[in-house]
Structure 1
Amino acid sequence: MKRLVESGLMFGNLIHVSSPALVERYNRALEHLTGKTTKLPDFYIDISGYSPEIGHELGDYLYLNHAGVNRQFILLSTQQKTAPLLGAKFSTSRGILRQFIEENEAALFALTARDAVAGELVNSVFDMSSPERLFDLRRVRVEADTTGGAVQQAEKLKAKTDQFLSEEDAWFDDVLIAEMIELAGQTGDVVRNPVQLKEMSFEQRNFWTAHFGGLYLFQQMDHPALITSGDKDGLGDLPIKYVFDLTDRNRIAKFLEYNDLVQPVVKARGVNAGAILRQKMDFILVDALAGEGIPLAGRGRVDMRRLASRHASVLPEEFHALASLVNWVENDGLWPRITSDHPAYFYTLRAADHADADLINMLLSELSPKDIRQLFICHKPLFYHLYQNWPEAKKAYVVEFLTREYQIDKAGARQALFGHEPEMAEPEPVRATPRVKGPWG
Structure 2
Amino acid sequence: MERLIASKMIYGGLMKVTQPHLVHNYNTALTRFGFKPIAPDEFSIDAMGFSPQVAEILDDSDYLNPHRVNPRFIILTPKQRELPYVQVSFSSTPELMRSFYQANRTALDVLTLKDVVFGEIEDDTYTVSTIEDLLSIRHVVFDLHSANGVLKGAHKLEQLISRFEREPTSWNNQKLMKDIIDLAGLCGDIRKNDPIPRNVRFTKNAFWADHFGGVYILRDEDGHVVLGDAPEPPFPTKGSTIDWYLSLEDPKTLHSYLTENDRLEPLNRDWLLGSGVLEARIDQHITALMGLSDKGADLGALTPSNVKKWVNAHAADVSNDRILSFLNKTKKSLLAGADIDLDKVAPDLRFLVQRADPAHPDDGLINRLIAEFVPFDFVVRFMVNKEAFYRDYETYPPNLREYVVDLIQNTYFNDKDRHWDKLFGA
Which bracket does the TM-score occupy, shorter chain normalised?
over 0.9
Q: What is the aligned length? A: 419
Alignment partner of 2:100: what SS? Answer: helix
* 1:406 paired to 2:406: no
In the TM superposition, residue 359 of structure 1 has moved relative to its aligned partner by: 0.2
- Post-superposition offset of 1:271: 5.9
Mapped contact 2:46–2:80 kept (Cα < 8 A): yes
* Alignment match, 2:202: 202
In the TM superposition, what is the alpha-carbon distance from 1:79 to its structure 2 partner?
1.2
Pair 1:88-2:91 in alignment: no
- CA-atom RMSD in angstroms: 2.0
In 2, Cα distance between the equivalents of 1:183 and 1:348? 60
Q: Name the aligned partner's letter for residue 286 of structure 1.
A: T
Partners in 2 of 1:285 and 1:221 — Cα distance?
42
Counterparts in 2 of 1:156 and 1:302: CA distance versus 1, 3 Å: farther
- 8 Å Cα contact 2:275/2:423 also seen in 1: no
TM-score, structure 2 as length reference: 0.93
**2:289 is matched with which residue?**
288
**Are the structure 2 counterparts of residues 413 and 99 from structure 1 closer, same or farther at C-alpha, using a change threshold of 3 Å?**
same
Instruction: State the one-letter code of the partner of 1:86.
Output: V
The letter for the 2-side match of 1:354 is H
Partners of 1:126 and 1:202 in 2: CA distance: 17
Contact 2:367 2:384 in 1 (8 A): yes
Q: Against the structure 1 CA distance between its residues 275 and 303, is the aligned structure 2 distance closer, same or farther, given a 3 Å change threshold?
A: farther
Name 2:383's counterpart in structure 1. Answer: 377
Q: Distance in 2 between matches of 1:298 and 1:144?
A: 53
* Worse-matched range after superposition: 303-312 or 255-264: 303-312
User: Is 159-168 or 353-362 further displaced after alignment?
Assistant: 159-168
Shift of residue 310, structure 1, vs aligned partner: 3.9
Q: Does 1:26 align with 2:26?
A: yes
The amino acid that maps onto 2:316 is S
Question: Could you tell me whether the CA contact under 8 Å between 1:298 and 1:397 is conserved in 2?
Answer: no
Quote the offset at 1:379 in angstroms.
0.3
Is the 1:205–1:220 Cα contact (8 Å) retained in structure 2? no
User: 2:103 is matched with which residue?
Assistant: 103
Structure 1 window deviating more from structure 2 (59-68 vs 294-303): it is 294-303
User: Match of 1:329?
Assistant: 334
**Alpha-carbon contact 1:27-1:37 (below 8 Å) kept:** yes
**Which whole-Å CA distance do the structure 2 matches of 1:332 and 1:368 have between them?**
25
Cα displacement (A) at 1:388? 0.5
- Deviation of 1:197 (Å): 0.8
Q: Who is 1:437 aligned against?
A: none
Question: For residues 100 and 64 of structure 1, do their structure 2 counterparts lie closer, same or farther at Cα, with a shift above 3 Å needed?
Answer: same
- Measured in 2, the distance between the counterparts of 1:26 and 1:113 equals 14
2:207 is paired with a residue whose SS is strand
> Are the structure 2 counterparts of residues 276 and 213 from structure 1 closer, same or farther at C-alpha, using a change threshold of 3 Å?
same
Residue 163 of structure 2 corresponds to: 163
What is the CA–CA distance in structure 2 between the aligned matches of 1:245 and 1:273, rounded to whole Å?
32
Separation in 2 of the partners of 1:281 and 1:264?
21
**1:409-428, aligned counterparts within 5 Å?**
409-420=415-426
CA distance in 1, matches of 2:293, 2:31: 53
- Residue 351 in 1 paired to residue 356 in 2? yes
2:181 maps to 1:175: no
Aligned match of 2:273: 272
Instruction: Report the CA distance shift for 1:389/1:230 in structure 2 as closer, same or farther (over 3 A).
Output: same
Q: Does 1:308 align with 2:311?
A: yes
Distance 1:245 1:349, change over 3 A: same
Q: SS of 1:217's equivalent?
A: strand
Structure 2: gaps of 5 or more residues:
none
| 1:317 aligned residue | 322
SS of the residue 2:268 aligns to: helix
> Computing the radius of gyration over CA atoms, which structure comes out larger, 1 or 2?
1
Shift of 1:204: 1.4
Per-residue Cα deviation, 1:133-156 (whole angstroms, up to 9, x for no partner): 111111011122321231221121
Most deviating of 207-216 and 177-186:
177-186
d(CA) in 1 for partners of 2:223 and 2:259?
A: 10
Please state how far the C-alpha of 1:218 moved relative to its aligned partner. Answer: 0.5
Deviation at 1:254, TM superposition (A): 0.7
Deviation at 1:183, TM superposition (A): 1.5
Shift of 1:132: 2.1
Displacement of 1:227: 0.5
Q: Match for residue 78 of structure 1?
A: 78
Secondary structure of residue in 2 paired with 1:74 = strand
- Cα distance in 1 for residues equivalent to 2:15 and 2:200: 25
Secondary structure, counterpart of 2:405 in structure 1: helix
Give the secondary structure class of the aligned counterpart of 1:196: coil
> 2: distance between equivalents of 1:339 and 1:283?
25
**1:15-37 per-position Cα deviation (integer Å, ceiling 9, x unaligned):** 11112221111000111123332
- Give the structure 2 partner of residue 41 of structure 1: 41
Which residue of structure 2 lines up, in the alignment, with residue 68 of structure 1?
Answer: 68
Native 8 Å contact 2:230 2:249 kept in 1? no
TM-aligned CA deviation for residue 253 of structure 1? 0.6
Cα distance change of structure 1 residues 376 and 39 upon mapping to structure 2, 3 Å threshold = closer
Q: SS of 1:84's equivalent?
A: coil
* Equivalent position of 2:136 in the other structure: 136
Structure 1: how far apart are the matches of 2:423 and 2:201?
A: 31
Distance 2:208 2:344 in 1: 26
Counterpart CA distance in 1 for 2:409 and 2:303 is 15
Greater mean alpha carbon deviation, residues 283-292 or residues 397-406: 283-292
> Equivalent residue of 2:383, what SS?
helix
Question: 8 Å contact 2:17–2:42 — kept in the other structure?
Answer: yes
C-alpha distance 343-295 of structure 1, shift in aligned 2 (>3 A): farther
Indicate how the Cα distance of structure 1 residues 53 and 192 shifts in structure 2: closer, same or farther if over 3 A, else same: same
Instruction: Tell me how far 1:261 sits from its aligned partner.
Output: 0.7
Match of 1:297 in 2: 300
Supply the distance in 2 between the matched residues of 1:155 and 1:274 (Cα, whole angstroms): 51
Partner of 1:254: 256
Residues 339 and 44 of structure 1: CA distance in aligned 2, closer, same or farther (over 3 Å): farther
1:325-384 deviation line (CA, Å, top 9, x unaligned): 000111245747674645422111101021111000000001221211111000001101
